[in-house]
Structure 1
């Protein structure tokens, strides 16, 4: 994962916790990522979150199709995401006008969604140390 992939509101793993990016700063040696009001860490200590069926549920996607080759999740009135069960993974990713955009991690999906809609992807997940749900 490169620092250029990250933006505000992305969710990532730090140690054993899911954390949001609430700020970023270049300190000339690395990119520091602010994960709460008191903590800024080197971005290389963050790990991406793999997309799973559980995450799609938290994102409001519904399973729309399942076969032995593919599982499709739809976000009503917006988009779909296909998991390809074959080893070549040709038909996997965020489906946009008949083309697959490869993304394997939550922050990538958040970024694609924001780029296409101009809105944050709503996530049914309570952030530790926060009073509200990230949206």
Structure 2
């Protein structure tokens, strides 16, 4: 995991709390828990990636399109590949694996130019 893997707005874990990346520096990532708490600057060792599962697709507003795990939003379809136990998206260059929430957010932004945020 590197600082360059993240973008402002990505969701990560700090301890056991889901936090949002609000700034990225050469020596750390600044995260914000909520409006009630101040932001915190962390090293890469101070954060953890959030594993993607079906609940995250639903939180982001994806629609389930089949009986097996397959989700779609804005023309992007992501399916669970049971043989590799990974979520996969078919892209022009082939299939890409999505293991973490920030990867899903970054892929969505790269393909649509829009931020992927949790639906309220």
What TM-score, normalized to structure 2? Answer: 0.84
Q: Please point out which of 75, 78, 81 is paired with 2:75.
A: 78
* 3-state SS in 2 of match to 1:66: coil
Q: Distance in 1 between matches of 2:20 and 2:55?
A: 18
Confirm or deny: 8 A CA contact 1:11 1:107 kept in the other structure.
yes
Q: Distance in 2 between matches of 1:48 and 1:10?
A: 10
Structure 1, unaligned runs of 5 or more: 126-135
Q: Give the number of aligned pairs.
A: 115
Larger Rg: 1
Deviation at 1:123, TM superposition (A): 1.6
Q: Counterpart in 2 of 1:18?
A: 18
Q: Distance in 2 between matches of 1:46 and 1:102?
A: 21
Instruction: Give the root-mean-square deviation of aligned CA atoms.
Output: 2.0
Structure 2, unaligned runs of 5 or more: 33-37
Deviation at 1:92, TM superposition (A): 4.1
Q: Distance in 2 between matches of 1:110 and 1:72?
A: 17
Confirm or deny: 8 A CA contact 1:79 1:96 kept in the other structure.
no
